[in-house]
Amino acid sequence: MKSYLPFFCSGTVIKGFGRGSKELGIPTANFPEQVVNSLPKEMSTGVYYGYAEVDNGPVYKMVMSVGWNPYYKNEKKSMETHIIHVFDEDFYGKTLKVAILDYIRPERDFNSLEALIETINNDIAVANVNLDKPEFISFKTNEFFSPNS
């Protein structure tokens, strides 16, 4: 694990760039600027994974992208969490808690949207496997998350 990990943080889910990530099957819950600015200075931009909880709901696996999304050349640094679970409803305005546990790769540019999606799906597969390992699964019941979820 990187020296600044695990990193725990929480914030309100805000509207993101509205690019229709949801239509691509990869909705990402975006954090407000204050949360992005609270990340440790040494934390590199890139793709991470860990666990997430919406309000007092269950704790699920997640993948997260931190940075400027080179494919879209964003001007604002963002922190977007894709929770590995199918929700019945959106949760804008609710509190998202995340435990960021491990790093996968730096952010990249891509030649096509298909290539970006394929790479993100691979990140999800990596997170899915790794988060079942004993060193990570213990975080699912960490007191940071709601005790009865």
Whether the CB-CB separation of 140 and 101 falls below 8 Å is answered with no
* Active-site residue, selected from the candidate residues 33, 42, 75, 80: 80
Among 2, 8, 44, 107, binds ligand RBF (CB under 6 A): 107
What residues from 81 to 120 belong to the interface with ligand ADP (CB under 6 A)? 82-83, 85, 87, 90-92
Mapped onto helix, strand or coil, the DSSP state of residue 104 is: strand
CA-to-CA dists, residue 86 to 9, 83, 103, 106, angstroms: 22, 8, 23, 26
Cβ(94)–Cβ(15) below 8 Å: no
Out of 5, 8, 10, 16, name the contact with Mg ion by CB under 5 A: 16
- Based on CB atoms, which residue is closest to ligand RBF, 72 or 87? 72
* Contact stretch for Mg ion (CB under 5 A) within 29-37, 46-54, 90-98, 123-131: 29-37
DSSP code for 51: E
The question of whether 80 is a catalytic residue gets the answer yes
- Count Cα atoms within 13 angstroms, Cβ side, for 123: 27
Tell me which of 71, 91, 103, 144 binds ligand RBF, using CB under 6 A. Answer: 71
The amino acid that residue 81 corresponds to is: T
Residue identified by tokens 């709601």 is 146
Least distance in Å: CB of 42 to ligand ADP? 26
Binding site for Mg ion (CB under 5 A): 16, 28, 30, 80
